[in-house]
Amino acid sequence: MARESQTFAFPEQRKEPINDAAHVRNAIARFDQVEDVTDAERDRAWKRILAAADKFDVEVSERSWRELFKGGKHRS
């Protein structure tokens, strides 16, 4: 079960699968659309995404998930 939870950026909610390069890119693109999660959960999810990006050789230009919200969807 622990291994399965590592395939999601947000394992508790089973949101944003990150089991291959395409899913990692999608998780980054949709990161600002994930609702009902705390900033602490976003911090942990971002670390999982970066680890998966490294594993699948996906380039990530943002250093923080907070950069994904600049000029994009505003969080309330």
Q: Where exactly are the structural domains of the chain?
A: 2-68
Q: What is the pLDDT of residue 5?
A: 44
32-68 burial, b at 16+ Cβ within 10 Å, e below that, comes to bebeeeeeebbebbbebbbebbeeeebeeeeeebeeb
The answer on pLDDT for 10 being more than 70 is yes
Residues in the chain: 76
The answer on pLDDT for 3 being more than 60 is no
